[in-house]
Amino acid sequence: MLGKNLELSQFVKDPAINKINIFGGSTSVGPINIDGSLGSIHVDTLLLAWLCMGGVLLAAALIVRGLVVEGAGGKGQAMLEMVYKFVDDLAHGQIGHHYKKFFPLVAAIFIFVLLGNFIGVGPWRAFEHMPGWFHLKDGEPFEIASPTTDLNVTFGLAMVALLVYLGSGFWKHGVNYGKHLANPIEILDLVVRPSTLALRLMVVITADELLRAAFLMMMPVLLPTGIMAFELFIGLIQAFVFALLTSIYIGLTVSEHH
């Protein structure tokens, strides 16, 4: 969160790996130094993101085994049907009759972002005092945070949405869609849309976690419980907004009157 991540260089001591430069050397942009090294890979973000994906696959495997065609089914089936109906209405309403082709993407984005937002909500600061707990390079205890507080994750999701957005345009309108993109406003739009998608999610979830940390320091017993419930609500809203905007962008490209 806010750059406080466990870097690969803390676990991999091989200089040949830690000194590999992706961008061919260090680059400075104002006060920001971009070294482009593999040592800047955030191990905690990767593990938490994999945990979210593994949780989705495990839950799906367990629920599918108990699915029934007739009757109400179990609690797992009811929850699965609720999520399916919600995302189905969302995608259909924004994309139109072509929505089935993009439903898996919209559903995957919604579920992953939702779990990514939720996984950081908890009294994780209690683990910081355990013996052998991870520490950052500056000696500060590592704090478990949602993977969606890492710009690498939110930007990656935004780029997936952008690529599908562009691909759907060429799929629906053919090579003529390229002429539509040859417009300064459209080019600027291709920068603004993924940037706002990525930054909105990261900033809001980070602000929620900072708010919880502040209340934990001021009143660590009762009040943070309400703050955590508020975080869950905000996490749900942000997952909905990300999936909604992705659906809107795709819907704009596959519309008949483009």
| pLDDT, tens only, 23-79 | 444 444 344 444 444 446 788 888 899 999 999 999 988 888 888 877 777 888 888
Report yes or no: 204 and 234 within 8 Å, Cβ to Cβ. Answer: yes
> Helix/strand/coil (H, E, C) string of 74-99?
CHHHHHHHHHHHHHHHHHHHHHCCCH
Tell me the β-bridge partners of 29.
32
Under DSSP, is residue 13 helix (H, G, I), strand (E, B) or coil?
coil
Residue 173: its H or E element = helix 151-173
Question: Quick one: pLDDT band at residue 14, thresholds 50, 70, 90?
Answer: low
Tens digit of pLDDT for each residue in 114-129?
Answer: 999 999 887 776 676 7
**What pLDDT does residue 31 have?**
42
Report yes or no: 62 and 74 within 8 Å, Cβ to Cβ. Answer: no
Does the predicted TM-score (pTM) go above 0.85? Answer: no
Checking if the pLDDT of 81 tops 60, the result is: yes
